[in-house]
Amino acid sequence: MTEPVTVSAGVQDFIARIRMEGALAGRAEAERVVADARAQAEALLAQAQREVEALRARADQEAQRLREAGEAAVRLAFRDAVLRLKEELGQAFASRLRRVVAQELEDPELLRRLVLAVAGRVGGELAPGELEQVLVTPAPAAHDDVVGDELDGLVRGIAGGMLREGVTLAQGAPGQGPGLRLRLAGEDAEVDLTDEAVARLLEARLLPRFQALLEGFVT
């Protein structure tokens, strides 16, 4: 009668052992699952951090590029503005110079002195008879008779002995600016000393100096 009890106890021990082993196996599996999940979470977090760092680096690079591009654009715009300002100031200087020369050559007394100075200077540099005629163009007047009166007064104001023998004084062609033109004997060309020619000469000499002066103020 005792054997059935022994068998029942052994079965119960076996069942209990199975239950314990199952519980241990389930706990180990649960721990493994938790560990895997934790590892995956850490991997995802690390990946996310790397992506955030990469995005931040790209954003910093883009911001730096935009900042450098903006600074370059400002420098270029400033350089262009300075160049335009220098060009405009140079043009204004040249225009003012031309107006001053034209105004000065409208003075009959200045023309008289200019004729005498040219005659005296050329007289020492040209061979006799090489200078044929000095063409004088007074400032424009409202009527031709006024221009003629100015020229007559200019001629009377120049002593005949001051001009070289054989050199005549005549009025320049209509439309020419005030000043002088020297006509050489046997030559078609003329030496231009009108307001435009004198202004060009002065501009060639003075404008570079004016531009150099600007460098000290506009850079």
Domain positions in the chain are: 1-105, 106-188
Element (H, E) at 6: helix 2-105
Q: Tell me the pLDDT band of 72, cut-offs 50, 70 and 90.
A: very high
Rounded to whole angstroms, the Cα distance separating 193 from 113 reads: 13
**pLDDT value of position 131:** 66
Pairing mode, strands 179-184 and 190-194: antiparallel
Classified as helix, coil or strand, 42 is helix
Between the CA of residue 166 and those of 121, 123, 129, what are the distances in Å? Answer: 16, 12, 7
Q: Tell me the pLDDT band of 200, cut-offs 50, 70 and 90.
A: confident
Classified as helix, coil or strand, 106 is coil
The residue among 179 and 8 whose pLDDT is bigger is 179
Contact 212, 84 (CB under 8 A): no
Joined together, the tokens standing for residue 122 give 């050329």
User: What does the buried/exposed string (b/e) look like for 24-58 if buried means 16 or more CB atoms within 10 Å of the residue's CB?
Assistant: eeeeeeeeeeeeeeeeeeeeeeeeeeeeeeeeeee
**pLDDT value of position 67:** 92
Which whole number is the average pLDDT over 123-127? 58
Which whole number is the average pLDDT over 83-90? 89
Classified as helix, coil or strand, 177 is coil
φ/ψ bin of 179: left (φ > 0), alpha (ψ from -120 to 50), beta (otherwise):
left
Task: Find, among 92, 77, 72, 89, the residue nearest to 215 by Cα.
Answer: 89
Rounded to whole angstroms, the Cα distance separating 160 from 138 reads: 19
**pLDDT value of position 39:** 85
**pLDDT value of position 92:** 92
Segment of 58-67, 145-154, 175-184, 189-198 carrying the highest mean pLDDT: 58-67
Amino acid at 128: P
Element (H, E) at 183: strand 179-184
**pLDDT value of position 75:** 92
Contact 182, 191 (CB under 8 A): yes
Which range among 20-24, 42-46, 76-80 shows the weakest confidence by mean pLDDT?
Answer: 20-24
**pLDDT value of position 2:** 47
Rounded to whole angstroms, the Cα distance separating 131 from 166 reads: 8
Q: Tell me the pLDDT band of 159, cut-offs 50, 70 and 90.
A: very low
The residue among 48 and 173 whose pLDDT is bigger is 48
The residue among 159 and 145 whose pLDDT is bigger is 145
pLDDT(55) > 70: yes
pLDDT(183) > 70: yes
